[in-house]
Amino acid sequence: MRIVIAGGHGQIALRLERLLAARGYEVAGLIRNPEQGDDLRDAGAEPVLCDLESASVEEVAAHLQGAGAAVFAAGAGPGSGVGRKDTVDRGAAVLFAEAAERAGVRRYVVVSSMGADPEHKGDEVFDTYLRAKGEADAYVRGRSALDWTILKPGMLTNDAGTGQVRLEASTGRGPIPRDDVAAVLAELVDTPGTVGLTLELVSGPTPVTVAVKDIAGN
């Protein structure tokens, strides 16, 4: 199966690409900087040049043709301002979802954020980010042509993954290594029982594979 990842050079995306490639999937990552291509190749993924802030739905859909799943893992990043929270964290997420529909890719997994809410109050940049992510999540939930799962990790860390998590509709706040987020995403992509679920993720006592099977009702 071919899996296309938006935000292919992100810290979670690179980890996910390695995991999926090791499982034998054909993986492609959308990037806008050609200098990032070698990092994707090292991770076992095909780099695809595509700027989600300027591309059309048709252009993105062309990159998604023939894929069995799409993962939105793009983000404007911590140093970005209010404008890019809207164009990337909301706009690019909506565009990628529309493109997946256009290309007939049903399986659609979103890396969101704990606290994402279209009604979130506040005027700081992070408040804007949480609203943008919440608006994007709400849009995806309304797409009947997508078999979506939305994952909301807690506070991301670069600690080594433990393979032990808590994955529930509501977990409460807590940290989670990016390694473990990627491991959960790799399981979610291929777990149809999680379609239609919005899940929170923090470190916890349950092995990743067990946690995903439990939430899927398997």
Name the residues annotated as catalytic: 129
Query: Which candidate, 138, 139, 175, places its Cα nearest to that of 159?
Result: 175
Is 5 in contact with 185 (CB distance < 8 Å)?
A: no
Query: Which candidate, 30, 32, 41, 34, places its Cα nearest to that of 6?
Result: 30
Tracing tokens 């995806």 back to the chain, one arrives at 140
Burial 171-189 (b: 16+ CB within 10 A, else e): beeeebbbbbbbbbbbbbb
Burial classification of residue 21, based on how many CB atoms lie within 10 Å of its CB (0-12 exposed, 13-18 middle, 19 or more buried): middle
Strand intervals (E) in the chain: 2-6, 26-31, 46-49, 69-72, 107-111, 147-153, 155-157, 164-168, 175-177, 197-203, 206-207
